[in-house]
Amino acid sequence: MPEENEIIEARATLNHARISSRKVKIVADLIRGKNADEALAIVKYTPKASSEILEKLLKSAIANAENNHHMAREKLYISEIYANQGPTLKRIRPAAKGSAVRIRKRTSHITIVLRERN
């Protein structure tokens, strides 16, 4: 059993997601601090590239909270959500006059942390 002052949290992480962390942060800012079900609804109807990824990750975090930590779904809220920059895949594209242009395919590490409201 957890102690009284110990804060239980459930988390889900996605490493090396093939999307720029800058694009993920736009949607992440929309749902930070919201209830889990409300955040799920927001993500589902936000027309952004990162919405699909965040929806899947949020469902995973909710499942972790319910199954691993025995938390009530109704009380869950997003206490932390952040997207850090991952490794960049560097590719080369031919350009004019025999030169080459570097293409940077950015990746990100996304983390969602859920806690229960009192």
pLDDT single digits (tens) 37-86: 999 999 999 999 999 999 999 999 999 999 999 999 999 999 999 999 99
The domain segmentation of the chain, as residue ranges, is 9-116
Look at residue 19 and give its three-state secondary structure: coil
Residue 1 has pLDDT above 80, yes or no: no
pTM: 0.88
Q: How far apart are CA 7 and CA 69, in angstroms?
A: 11
101 within 8 A of 92, measured Cβ to Cβ: yes
Per-residue pLDDT band at 3 (split at 50, 70, 90): low
Largest CA distance in the chain: 69
Q: How far apart are CA 98 and CA 117, in angstroms?
A: 60
Per-residue confidence (pLDDT) for residue 16, from 0 to 100: 96
* Cα end-to-end span (Å), the chain: 18
Please give the CATH superfamily to which domain 9-116 belongs.
Ribosomal protein L22/L17 (3.90.470.10)
The string of pLDDT tens digits covering residues 4-37 is 667 789 999 999 999 999 999 999 999 999 999 9
Q: What does residue 81 show for φ and ψ, rounded to 5 degrees?
A: -150, 125
Residue 118 has pLDDT above 90, yes or no: no
